Amino acid sequence: MSRGFLGYQTSLMLDVVVCALVLVVPLVILSLYLVKVRHNYLWHRNLQILLGVTLLVAVGAFEIDMQLVHGGWENIVSRREPSRSPEEMQTIRYFLWFHLCFAVTTPVLWIITMQKALKHFPNPPTPSAHSHSHKRLGWLSTIDLVMTSLTGLWWYYVAFIR
Ligand code: HEM
């Protein structure tokens, strides 16, 4: 578990998570299409659960790899040739903090949205008294996830490609 597969000097799990960040956006769009256009609430629910579990497993494995195997992101970034100046490392750190604003709140919002939806919608799901609150939470979770994805990819670009 030491080298990435996208052609940059990263780690395997970092590249796995970057692929997951790219994949979640079309999957979220598909889920919204299913619910808004096709009114297919069952597949919307199934896709959202699949997305949540996949992301949780990918990010969990990524964190274990990053913290326990590599000893933190700075060790991976500083392996890069030519090496980064302290100023560049600081810029990369700021980008990471910006990304973390979204990355930390997304799983919290996602779990709340999912837990409430599973509890308050009937099975199989159909619009109900919970719809109004779910739409608000759902859009908030969706925007947070998309921002996590965009800022995560941006950080990867700044740290490893630029
Ligand atoms: C974190 C996971 C989820 C997110 C981010 C999410 C997101 C959304 C969004 C944004 C909408 C509104 C679409 C619109 O503007 O019309 C929506 C609608 C809906 N979702 Fe979810 N959803 C999630 C999980 C679930 C689950 C687990 C269920 C079922 C148990 C569910 C059932 C529904 C239903 C029935 C509607 C239609 C509500 C209506 O039009 O009255 N969602 N969802």
DSSP secondary structure of 82-125: SPPPHHHHHHHHHHHHHHHHHHHHHHHHHHHHHHHHHHHS-SS-
pTM of the model: 0.93
Using a 6 Å cutoff on CB, does residue 114 contact ligand 1?
yes
Q: Decide if 113 contacts 137 (C-beta within 8 A).
A: yes
Positions in the chain short of pLDDT 50: 1
pLDDT at res. 2 = 53
Using a 6 Å cutoff on CB, does residue 58 contact ligand 1?
no
- From 30, 44, 45, the mutation candidate for ligand 1 (largest count of ligand atoms within 8 A of CB) is 44
pLDDT at res. 74 = 95
Q: Whose CA is nearest to atom 7 of ligand 1?
A: 138
pLDDT at res. 120 = 98
The helix/strand/coil state of 9 is: coil
pLDDT at res. 99 = 98
Q: In angstroms, rounded to a whole number, what is the distance separating the alpha carbons of residues 144 and 136?
A: 12
pLDDT at res. 1 = 42
pLDDT at res. 3 = 78
